[in-house]
Amino acid sequence: MNAETPTLRELSYAEAIREAMDIALGADPTVVLMGEDIGVYGGAFQVTGDLVQKYGEDRVMDTPISELGAVGVAVGAAMTGLKPIFEFQFSDFATLAMEQIVNQAAKVRYMLGGSVSVPVVMRFPAGSGTGAAAQHSQSLEAWFGHVPGLKVVQPSTPKDAKGLLLAALDDPDPVLIFEHKMLYKMKGPVPEGHYTTPIGKAAIRREGTDLTIVATAIMVHKTLEAAETLEGEGIDVEVIDLRTVRPMDRGTVLASVRKTGRLLCVYEGVKTLGVGAEVSAMVAESDAFDFLDAPIVRLGGAESPIPYNPELEKAAVPQVPDILDAARALAQGRV
Q: C-alpha distances in angstroms, 54 versus 18, 21, 22, 84, 239? A: 12, 12, 9, 17, 40
Residues of the chain with pLDDT below 70 are: 1-6
How much is the pLDDT for 59? Answer: 97
Which residues are catalytically annotated? 67, 136
Give the domain ranges of the chain.
8-191, 203-331
Topology of the domain comprising 203-331: Rossmann fold (3.40.50)
Beta partners for residue 178, in sequence order: 124
Answer yes or no: are the C-beta atoms of 14 and 186 closer than 8 Å. Answer: no
Same fold, 8-191 and 203-331: yes
Rounded Cα distance, 227 and 47, in Å: 31
How much is the pLDDT for 1? Answer: 46
Rounded Cα distance, 282 and 259, in Å: 16
Rounded Cα distance, 209 and 184, in Å: 32
Q: What is the DSSP string of 141-175?
A: HHHHHTSTT-EEE---SHHHHHHHHHHHHT-SS-E
How much is the pLDDT for 335? Answer: 87
Q: What is the DSSP string of 78-92?
A: HHTT-EEEEE-SSGG
DSSP code for 156:
-
Beta partners for residue 152, in sequence order: 176, 246
How much is the pLDDT for 108? Answer: 96
How much is the pLDDT for 328? Answer: 97
CATH H-level superfamily of 8-191: Thiamin diphosphate (ThDP)-binding fold, Pyr/PP domains (3.40.50.970)
